[in-house]
Structures are given as structure tokens and as C-alpha cells.
Amino acid sequence: MEENTKKVIKVLKLENVSISYGKISAVRNVSIHVEKNEIVAIVGANGAGKTTLINAIMGFVSPQKGKIFVKGHEITNLAPWKKLAFGLAIVPEGGRVFRNLTVKENLLLGAYRIKDKSKIDDKMNEIFQMFPKMKKRYRQIAGTLSGGERQMLAIARALMSFPKILLIDEISMGLMPKLVDEVLETIHNLKSKDVTILIAEQNTNEVLDIADRAYVMQNGLIVMSGTAEELKNDSKIKESYLGI
Amino acid sequence: MDYLMTLGIFASIYTILAISLNILTGYAGQVSLGHAALFGVGAYTSAALTVNLGFNYWAALPLSILITALVGALIGLSSLRAHSDFLVLITIGINFVVVALLKYTPFFGGPYGLLGIPRPSLFGEAMNTFEYFWYAVGWASFTILFVYWMSKKYIRTAFEAIKEDEEAAEAMTVSVPRFKIYAFAISAAFAGLAGNLWAHYMGVIFPGNFSFDTSIEIMTMIVLGGIGTIRGAVFGAVLLVFLPEYLRFVSDYRMLIYGLIIVFTMLFIPSGLLGDNSITWRWTRIFKKGDRVAKNNEN
């Protein structure tokens, strides 16, 4: 067993990360890891520190303590755009597509750091296969898309940068339950595309359906972790942390 | 005839100014109420170079554009720390500071301004009003074409992204500081060009030419015409240059009218007369049936 775990590649690893805003500590001593092609969820209530943690990995906030590694390279204090080179990309809270720009322009912004035009075209075609609706709405202003389509666009936009690790923050925010399932299903399908995913989500029940493992966060601390199955079936956890 | 030509020159200069402010405010969403400061920097740079330092006009022209662009980029640095309403206050402050500096610096002629600024010469002879009119119209056309070309490029998309949601743009690793500085520098370069054209047409400039009132004038033009569009900026500039000349009461109460225009456009047609979503602009599109059919098909 010991031998086996050593061989598994830890694509993303956080070691004792602490982040505070002034006197308020948002993330306390968090250590998590994500293995290759895994979907790992961070669940917990509003204000538990999930978004802060995701933002720290992408480099929008710097941790006061701790280290962040991608495939063994330390990236703790790198600028966001340098992290792109390590294959990190983010789908920000609620998707946040640019409503006044067309679907095409949104996608091109995702490919901002890619200079090779043919690579961008290839990726676009790949994305159109995954999201046929995006092709149909190519020239439309993103503000005219429905809520679910907008989240799809947000995911597609993040995929434009050829990510190896996708950080997804509260993608379901403001979506109706049926669409939450649809969007999460899309994310689940990304697994076959060789993308490793860390997803922060309040809709615990739904996200545990697609995740391999999950961490439960509360007041900035990781209070529980395990496989999605374990967490789903543990009645104590259900009551105290997940509210299901 | 000379009078009309002069108005045409002013209209061209204000067109350049309005388009230049439109790059900054309409495209990149960085609201500036101190644009006249950059107009002044361009005018004074070119005037000081030719009058005080004996530069040839054709050498002073690129230098004045370049220096104004640099000053614009410096002002742009403040936009990295301050957002929206705070940035507006900063730009207003900068406008007053620049006017004061010009007023109290003997090198720039103090409150009496700079006199005897030469007209550019063509084939050894100074341009007359007629030639200068075409010269100014030429630059205005170049500005329109350049900005139109730019608006089809990636940089415009990046500007729009920053305007709409800075944090989301950052999440796409669009370098927000870099594009903000670009917006300020490009916008300033054209304001500098306008300043140059103004100084060498008027022959004399005063600090008062570039006061806060002028900033408001430029803002009124793009607000009225339709923020974020080239046609709006051109329309607003031309209209507000010619209108006061033909309606005397407008020119007596200029600032009052400008103020009212801003208030009423913001209240009733926030996207301006020719803005993308304004009633008036859509009204002109009704006759373009093909356009609408195409749009419906897409849906």
C-alpha cells in the first residue's frame, strides 16, 4: 500500500496554507492534495474559506504561510499568468462571463496567453464538439445566454487555455437545481479529457455525485476528508457539516 | 469662408479629442474628467519645443505626441490603485494640477501663455487656414481609421473585458495593469495630437484653454453622441462645435447647456444619441431589414 501511494502523482498539493485578511483568518493550516485526473471537491457552508483557497491556488491572494506545489514545483507566490504555464486555469465564482462580449470573444479571452493561432482554432473546434450550443451562439452576446449556457461558456472559456488543472469556484451559484446537475455532469465529462479538477461547491449532495474525493471545510479549517462515497454515507457528517 | 474653415478645424480637433477619450472611457471603462490636461500637455509640449527651443514643427509633432503618451501612461498608473469614482476624482485633480503648473511656470509663459506658435509649413510656406483645415481633417480621419482598426483587434476585447469585470479579466490572466496603461497611453497620444493641432492653429495658448471646463466639454461630446462608439464621438464633437456658433444663446450659456446635456442624456438616453442600444440608433436601423433577419436566424 505504501509503495502504491508513492507512485501516484500529486498534481496539486497544498501544505499548511494559511491566509488571513487583516485580522480575520480565512484559511487556517490547510493541507490538501489532488491526484492526476481526479475530481476533488471542497465542500462547506458559505464563508468557510473555499473561495479564498481557490483564489490562493490561482494566485489572486497570497498565503501568509504554507506552500503550494504543482507536480512538485513550488508555485506559492507566482503571478496568476505564470501559473497558467503550469497548466492551471480557473472558472471564477458564478462563472462571470463577460456579458457584453460575444461568445467568441469570451473564448478568445480564455486563450489570451496562447500565441499559436492554429492551436486556438483546434481548441475551439474541440470545445464546439463538447458544447454544441456554443457553436450555435458563437456570435451572440454572452448576456443573451441562459444561466446554464453562461456557466458552460465559463467552463469552455477556462478550457481554452489548455489547462491540466481546472479550479472551479461555486459554478452553481444562482442556477436552478436542474441546471446545477447539467453543469456538474459537464464537469464530470471533463475527466475523460485528461483534466484534473478541484471544485469548490456549496451544493454538497450534487457535487459528491461527481467527485472522487472531497474535503469538508468549516471556518477556514479542513474538518473532514474522504472519498465521496464515505462522506455521503456518513450520517454524522451529513448532520453537522453538510446539512443534507 | 475662413470662419467655416476654422469651425471645421475645431470640429476635427474635438473629434480627435472625443475619440481619444472614448478609447479610455468608452472602451476601457476608465472614466476621466481630466482629459483636457492631456490636451494641454500636447499643446504646451509642441509650443514650448517650437517657440522656446527652436524645434521644427515636424520634429515637434511626433515628440509632442510621444511625451503626452508618456504623461498619459504615468496618469494611468494611478488607475492601478484607484477604481471608478476615485479615479474620476484623481483625474479631476490632475487637470487642476496641470493647469496650475502651466500657470506658474515661467518657461511655459505663466498666465499669459505662449505666443507666436508657428504654423506648420508646407514646401517652405506656412499653411493658410484652408490648407490647415485639410491637414486637421486628415489627422481626424486618420484617428477614426486607426481606432476603427484597433477596435477589431484583440486589444479592444481586452479593454472591454477590463471595463466589464476586472476580476474576471484577471482570472483569464489578462494583464489588467498592462491594458489599463495601454488605454491611457493610446488615448493620451491622440489627445497630444489634438493639442498639437490646436496650438499650431491658434498661434497662442493659455493655461485656461485646458481647464476642467474643457474636460467637461469633451465628456459631454461622447456622452451625447453615445459612449463606446466612434460614430457617437464624431457626431457629438461635430454637433457641439457647430451648435453654439449657430445658436447664440447656446454659446452664452455654454457650460449650463453642457451640464444639462449630461444630466438629460444620462437620465433618458444613457447610451447617447448614436450609442449601440439607444432608441435613436435602433430607429435608424429599422430600415436595414437584412440585419434583423440575420439576427433572428441566429437565435
What is the per-residue pLDDT across A203-239, written as a single tens digit (0 to 9) for each? 888 888 899 999 999 889 998 898 988 888 877 766 6
Contact list, A110 vs chain B (CB under 8 Å): 172
B40 in a domain, yes or no? Answer: yes
Domain that holds residue B73: 2-272
Task: Please tell me the distance in Å from A80's CA to the nearest CA on chain B.
Answer: 6
- Total CB pairs under 8 A between chain A and B: 57
Quote the ipTM score. 0.77
CB contact under 8 A, B160 and A58: no
Q: Look up residue B114 and give its three cell numbers.
A: 505662449
What is the per-residue pLDDT across B181-200, written as a single tens digit (0 to 9) for each? 999 999 999 999 999 999 99
B279 in a domain, yes or no? Answer: no
Mean pLDDT of A14-27: 90
Task: Please tell me the distance in Å from B178's CA to the nearest CA on chain A.
Answer: 13
Test mutation, A75, A98, A166, chain B, max B CBs within 10 A:
A98
CB contact under 8 A, B157 and A97: no
Which has the closest alpha carbon to B275: B105, B90, B25, B58?
A: B25
Question: Residue B180, class by beta-carbon neighbours within 10 Å (0-12 exposed, 13-18 middle, 19+ buried)?
Answer: buried
CA–CA gap between residue A219 and residue B113 (Å, rounded) = 64
Q: How far is CA B268 from CA A227, B221, B246, B260, B265, in A?
A: 57, 16, 25, 12, 5
CB contact under 8 A, B160 and A161: no
Q: CATH no. for residue B26? A: 1.10.3470
| pLDDT number for residue B76 | 93
B127 in a domain, yes or no? Answer: yes
Q: How confident is the model at residue A22 (pLDDT cuts 50, 70, 90)?
A: confident
Contact list, A98 vs chain B (CB under 8 Å): 160-161, 164-165, 168-169
The stretches in chain B having pLDDT less than 70 are 286-299
| pLDDT number for residue A179 | 83
- The answer on pLDDT for A178 being more than 90 is no
Please give the helix or strand (H or E) that residue A66 lies within, else none.
strand A65-70
| pLDDT number for residue B245 | 81
- The answer on pLDDT for A4 being more than 60 is no
B42 in a domain, yes or no? Answer: yes
How many domains is chain B partitioned into structurally? 1
Helix (H, G, I), strand (E, B) or coil at B125: strand
B296 in a domain, yes or no? Answer: no
Contact list, B168 vs chain A (CB under 8 Å): 92, 96-98
Could you give the domains of chain A?
A: 8-242 (3.40.50.300)
